[in-house]
Amino acid sequence: MKTLSPLWPAISRIARDEGVLRIGASDIEDAHVALFHDWLDRGHHATMRYLEKNRAVRTHPRERFPWAKSAVVILVPYASERPAATNGALSHHIARYALGDDYHDVLDRILRRIEDAMPPEAKTRRYVDTGPLSDRSLAAQAGLGWIGKNGMLIDEEHGSYFFIGALLTSLENDIMATEVADRCGACTRCIDACPTDAILPNRTVASEHCISYGTIEHRGPLEGRISDALGGNAFGCDICQEVCPWNAAPAGAHPAFTARDEYRATPVTDLLRYSQGDFSTLFRHSAVKRARLAGMQRNVEALTAARSGRRD
């Protein structure tokens, strides 16, 4: 039976060369699947109905991937600090993870290199937030951190400013991970700081109240708690990470996630006059495309209305 450990020195070397912060291995069964079902049953996925459709695969991943026996999981850091810029610049209104290149493309390329190190007969499948798997659960099971009260994976040394990627393999997992102890303790800074009370007591997030969900995934007008508490957020939100004490000494960003100069030079309000072509050019190879031009213009309109004291 083929196992991961003979490949681990080569895989680890590739990871180091590619700027990976941490790497580990996990079985593919999700230890947190019951929590996911409860979250769905309570409707906290809001309009993300594709999560409901993928419920069965999360419960029994081997029904879709009968060959899968393990997952190689990587953490890749992104910028924890915003670049110096004028107050109204786009870079002040976009979540840190989207200030550089699209993480899907960058992590997929890294996973492809790891995939190429596998034996020719091994089956693999790359996942970067693109399928019915919980990357955070796999990462926690691989000993790469614990899932904090804000639902983020937290590494004791580097905090939570990183992306997670997973490579499913047909190799047996014999890399024994040490479970990372929960270090949140009695701290409730993230819960207290969330302006929409979106963080739930069971370490999940109510998407219907989450600014990140509202400004990225939601289609249609912004309403309720989200529209009233946008603050300066036009795409995503970092508040629960900004207040987390474990983010006091984050790792330096992977070069691909360095903030783009054009975001520092472009006023966020410029988006209101953009054509689709302008939008596609500015956000080429960027995760911001997820919100689409109409969504970003909606978000910016909500920001400017709030600043002027207007409510539509």
pLDDT digits (tens, 9 = 90+) for 47-85: 999 999 888 888 888 888 999 999 999 999 999 988 887
Give me the pLDDT at residue 312, please: 45
Record the pTM: 0.95
**What rounded mean pLDDT belongs to the chain?**
94
Tell me the per-residue pLDDT of 221-257, one tens digit each, with 9 for 90 and over: 998 889 889 989 999 999 999 999 999 989 999 999 9
By C-alpha distance, which of 98, 215, 102, 255 is closest to 165?
102
The string of pLDDT tens digits covering residues 122-163 is: 999 999 998 888 999 999 999 999 999 999 999 999 999 999
Q: What is the spatial distance between Cα 125 and Cα 168, in angstroms, rounded to a whole number?
A: 5
**Cα gap 203→199, rounded to integer Å:** 7
Q: Which entry of 27, 129, 174, 270 is annotated as an active-site residue? A: 129
Give 3-state DSSP helix, strand, coil % of the chain, rounded to 5: 40, 10, 45
Domain map of the chain by residue range?
A: 1-306
pLDDT for residue 311 is more than 90? no
Sequence-ordered list of residues with C-beta below 8 angstroms from that of 109, at least 6 positions apart, any chain: none
Give the single-character DSSP code of 216.
I
Beta-carbon contacts of 47 under 8 Å, excluding residues fewer than 6 positions away, are: 217, 218, 219
Contact 63, 216 (CB under 8 A): no
| pLDDT at position 176 | 87
The H or E element spanning position 14 is helix 8-17
CA-CA distance, 252 to 201, in Å (whole number)?
Answer: 31
> Could you give the percent of the chain with pLDDT greater than 70?
98
Range with the poorest average pLDDT among 9-13, 50-54, 105-109:
50-54
174 is a catalytic site residue: no
Within 13 Å of residue 87, how many CA atoms lie on the same side as its CB?
0
Q: Which of 143, 161, 156 is nearest to 184 (CA)?
A: 156
Interior angle at CA 247, CA 166 and CA 99, nearest 5? 65
| pLDDT of 284 over the 90 cut | yes
